[in-house]
Every structure is written in C-alpha cells, then in structure tokens.
Amino acid sequence: MECKVKWTGAGMSFLAETGSNHVVVMDGAPEAGGRNLAPRPMELLLAGTGGCTAYDVVLILKKGRQAVTGCEVSLKAERAEEEPRIFTRIHFHFRVIGKQLKPDTVARAIELSKEKYCSASIMLGKTAAISHDFEIVEA
C-alpha cells in the first residue's frame, strides 16, 4: 500500500493521492493556519476506521446469508490533552438494518471485526480503549 501526501502551498491544505489513484483533501483548523476546507487528518483516520469495521460487519452478515440492507457506524473519540494527541477512547455504535436479523449474529459479526478483521480498529486499540454497542432496525 502506498500514499503520497503533498502540501498545496496554501494554508495547511494537503492532497493525498492513494496507491489506487484516488485523491483526498485534508485541511487544518483556522486557529492552526488552515482554512477549514476539508476534514482534518485525524478525522479521516477515524472515518477510515468506521469504514473498515462497517465493511467487515456487512461482509460477515452477507456471507452468513443474513438479510442485511443497511449498516451505519457512529464513532465518538476522545484524544489526549497533550502531544501526541492520540485517541484514548473510541466508542462504536452500530445501527444495522435488515429483515429478521438476530442479535447474536450481529454481535458475532461485530466481535469478529473487532478481534480479527478490522486492521484499523485493532491498531488503534493498542492506544485507545475501544467499546462497541449496536441496535437492530427491522427493514
């Protein structure tokens, strides 16, 4: 996996070009010299972690022939007060939508993502206390 990040030369905006040839813009807060034009790098790290685990959960449920029609993950993170301002706590709230989804099956999919498949959350779990909960919405 590769990525190239380049400062745009304006404020604190950066362009990241991924190995799969996609571009993501990042920017800083105005008080840090940014122009607030794009997400902060740490926001993208959190969003990527949410995407990683949601991907796992949907894939696991589909492979288990569950009638999943939607999955949303809300993440709330706390960061250290002092540098480095690492994540110290992250809570994942899953909202899984489908027909006749069983709580045990959804819980197992989330657990498998947490313990085995989601590289991002497993990596962040080395420094942050991670918690999960979920709700099931009948489609």
pLDDT tens digits, one per residue of 103-138: 999 999 999 999 999 999 999 999 999 999 999 999
Q: How far apart are CA 56 and CA 54, in angstroms?
A: 5
**pLDDT tier, 2 (very low <50, low <70, confident <90, very high otherwise):** very high
DSSP run (H or E) holding 60? helix 41-63
- Summarize pLDDT for 65-94 with one digit per residue, the tens: 999 999 999 999 999 999 999 999 999 999
Q: How far apart are CA 18 and CA 6, in angstroms?
A: 11
- Burial of 87: CB neighbours in 10 Å, binned 0-12, 13-18, 19+: buried
Supply the pLDDT for residue 79: 98
Q: 110 by DSSP, 3-state: which? A: helix
Q: Which candidate, 121, 64, 131, 132, places its Cα nearest to that of 98?
A: 64
Q: How far apart are CA 110 and CA 105, in angstroms?
A: 9
